[in-house]
Chains A and B, each alone.
Chain A
Amino acid sequence: MFYSIRHVTRFRYSAPVRESVMELRMQPRSEGPQSLRSFQLVTQPRAQLFAYTDQFGNAVYHFNAVREHEELRIEATAVVELGNFRPLPEAADAQEWSRYNPLNLTNDHFDFMEPSRFARMSPELGAYMTANGLDEPEGDALSALKMLNTTIRSTLEYEPGVTEVHSPVEHALGAKRGVCQDFAHIMIAIARAWKIPARYVSGYLYQGRAHGDRADGGATHAWVEAWLPSFGWVGFDPTNGTLAAERHIRAAVGRDYADVPPTRGTFKGIAQSELAIAVQVEPTQAPTRNDDFLRIARPISSPAPTPSMPELYYRQQQQQQQ
């Protein structure tokens, strides 16, 4: 199956800004059934692009735009081939739990078992676990994860605008609603509490609501991969209560959202910035549409302006010299 993905990101600033520096994590990964066929990035203003591979194996592009600009636009186009997924059994065997041992768990798993910035335990999360019978995993590892996946799906409503990009999971838990990012963080935190390595996947989902998905197709998507010794990294989509399979295109993996924001940047200037995103995923036979379907996601608060003298004083002071 071939998919073409078009991901447009547009920042608009209320006043001209300069010296924008930005990192992008949008290139789909080539791993397992997924292989990247082509990838292209175009920026406006035009900029020299640089790339590196981060510690999680994600392709990261970066560029800077020095001159004054009022808008920054990034367009990524990719063609990805998704091969057949090896079907998973209904459940793992009873010995699967015992395979989580120092022999099988390597350095690479370590990061995904520790609490991270957004995916960590808290009293609210503990209460949610207790209320939903999630304090201990039930049955074998695979079944337990599947149940966790569907429990999140059924106990939390999908609603954008309640939480924000930097919200801790407590916001979603308190409101009992959130978006894919929140659900992924919750599942990861609980899986880690069960001592299962779990990581955050940022990427794209083909089709969206038409397919019975709760989330729209027109945005990036977030889901979870949990590691099972007999099966490797298995994808779960707690937003939709399904396994992540042929409709999920993986762009970046990390401990949580903080490791893999699709865009991350700084700029100089005193301005509010407004972010608009459009994502379009199609099987490649379909014609590509133009971008008058951009919709405003949500305004982002501007970065801190140049600090006032007392604040600068405080910040510089706080640099401990040993």
Chain B
Amino acid sequence: MALQRLTLSGMGQDIKIHNQDFGGPDPSIGLAHLPRAGEDTPYKAYALGAAYDEMFARDGSLRSHYEQLGIRLATLAPDELLRRQQACELSFLQQGITFTLYNDAQQTERIIPTDLLPRIITAREWDRIERGLKQRIVALNLFLRDIYGEARVLKDGIIPRSMIFGSRHYRREMRGISVPHDAYINVCGTDLVRRENGAFVVLEDNLRVPSGVSYMLANRDVVRRAFPAVFRSVGVRPIEHYPQALLATLKSLVSLEDVSIAVLTPGVFNSAYFEHAFLARQMGVELVEGRDLLVNDNIVYTRTTSGLKRVDVVYRRIDDDFIDPLAFREDSSLGVSGLFNAYRAGNVVIANALGTGIADDKAVYAYVPQLIRYYLSEDPILGQVETFLCREPKALSHVLANLDKLVVKAVGESGGYGMLVGPHATSEERAKFAERLTSEPDNYIAQPTIQLSTAPTFVDGTVDARHVDLRPFVLHGSETTIVPGALTRVAIRKGSLVVNSSQGGGSKDTWVVAR
């Protein structure tokens, strides 16, 4: 497989990287065979375990969709990979793609580490994921319409009423309010994991204020320039149109020619502020904070130097509780008084709708396969992780007896907090958690620890396996759009299963092969 020599146009800092790519030797020269895990540089220390590995089969041989990348890495000069990784980080820093970490006492801006080795998914695998996600979001939207309407699903006994009505994410105010296209969830980031047997299953949906899409786009931008030839020869599907797809989705919620859209952010100190600003800029819409908006006579306006401008759609990145001090928490300084009443009257659209949090409640998660059957009369395409609901006495005793093997999560908390990873916890931590479980069992669910699949990651100067998950983004308005890509999150620490960026995880570019 010979690399093509392209003429270089002035591309600024890219030139240095490209030179190496095109000036080097034919990569297939010098390799006696396809590299194998555990045997050939740079995979000598690549540890294959019980988890499914994205790149290598169990016998250490390269999976076919990883061949081009596998060969390329094997033929790079030893320092070259490090250099490219550093160039990648520099690019992020220069662009100001930073994320403030919650537990960091100093509150400095840090970059989320991006690992430059892409995670590759075959066309067939993606097709199934896409179909499964579309099915899921349709079912979840029907569920929301139902529980904010007739609540047939409760009358028919599919889900216990107390689980819905007792959840703090269930917003009674939404009862009877009609939502454009019955699309409550407009943007959803669903976390998938690949199990030991190679199947992708849904770990959790994020459909309140899902974030991470800006990293998905930034990673693509940087990694494509790090491996331009491999990128081209693999034939990766493009994802750059996400902002346009998001814009189209938001526009579809209003039947006007000229739709005025604003991205509502909590402000510069929010950890995902960069993404809010990025998306607003890419879509060509205004980025606003609560104090920029004013509701007058039930219509929402932004305050501009030229006067008040009406807003039709608010893409909000503020949680329900804080979005309107009149309707919800009165101490919120981030929201807009009267926004919900304007929404109720149909004078403004809010995306995602309020009250979607009940659908990504960790306890409701256990019921989603049944919801798919109930609303769509179809079998779920994507499976889930088996879940024990501690509110059920039998489940609770099973969980307490097996704490060392389970992951226990608090219902209704996101970001990896309020969680116990049984196998990794000390017996003290488990005992303390057991107390919490017995005192408020309704608040917890448990799942077996799954071996997330591993993918090649550049660590300590070499390529090694690290656990990853997959977060594709689903857009839903008058129709469902899924951009063929995802944010792959990677646990930087060896053996760690926690991939959340707020707790020190990193991310990768995800390549979905076209054919």
Contacts and interface: CB of A to CB of B under 8 A. Distances in A.
Q: Do chains A and B touch in the complex (CB under 8 A)?
A: yes
Interface of A: 19, 21, 23, 48, 50, 52, 54-55, 62, 64, 66, 107, 110-111, 114, 264-266, 303-304, 306-307, 312-317, 319-322
Contacts of A66: 294, 296
Contacts of B337: 19, 21, 64, 265-266
Contact of B210 (A48, A54, A322): A322
B173 A55 contact: yes
Nearest to A56: B172
B141 interface: no
A322 B317 contact: no
A21 B334 contact: no
A19 B294 contact: yes
B339 to A, nearest CB: 10
B211 A312 contact: no
B333 A54 contact: no
B218 interface: no
B266 A322 contact: no
Given A320-B415, A322-B209, A62 B338 contact: yes
B270 interface: yes
Interface string B246-281: 000000000000000000001111111101000000
Contacts of A304: 331, 333
A303 B209 CA distance: 28
7 tightest A-B contacts by CB?
A321-B272, A316-B269, A321-B211, A322-B206, A319-B266, A21-B337, A316-B267
B268 A316 contact: yes
A322 B414 contact: yes
Contact of B326 (A114, A266, A319): A266
B279 to A, nearest CB: 12
B334 A50 contact: no
Nearest to B331: A304
Contacts of A23: 326, 341
B154 A107 contact: yes
Contacts, number: 108
Contact of A52 (B270, B344, B414, B415): B344
Contacts of A111: 165, 172
B143 to A, nearest CB: 16
A64 B209 contact: no
Contact of A48 (B155, B211, B297): B297
Contacts of A50: 297-298, 341, 345
B206 A55 contact: no
B201 interface: no
A317 B270 contact: yes
A50 B345 CA distance: 9
A110 B175 CA distance: 15
Nearest to A313: B269
A312 B269 contact: yes
A19 B337 CA distance: 9
A307 B291 CA distance: 12
Contact of A322 (B296, B325, B415): B415
A321 B269 contact: no
A320 B319 contact: yes
23 contacts: A19-B337, A50-B345, A52-B345, A55-B175, A62-B338, A107-B154, A266-B337, A303-B330, A304-B331, A306-B333, A314-B269, A315-B332, A315-B333, A315-B334, A319-B317, A319-B334, A320-B209, A320-B414, A321-B211, A321-B272, A322-B189, A322-B209, A322-B360
Given A21-B338, A23-B326, A48-B297, A317 B269 contact: yes
A52 B332 CA distance: 23
Contacts of A107: 151, 154-155, 161, 165
Contacts of B294: 19, 66
B418 to A, nearest CB: 12
Contacts of A54: 173
A273 to B, nearest CB: 14
B194 interface: no
A239 to B, nearest CB: 27
B367 interface: no
Given A21-B326, A307-B333, A62 B270 contact: no
Nearest to B319: A319
Contacts of B176: 55
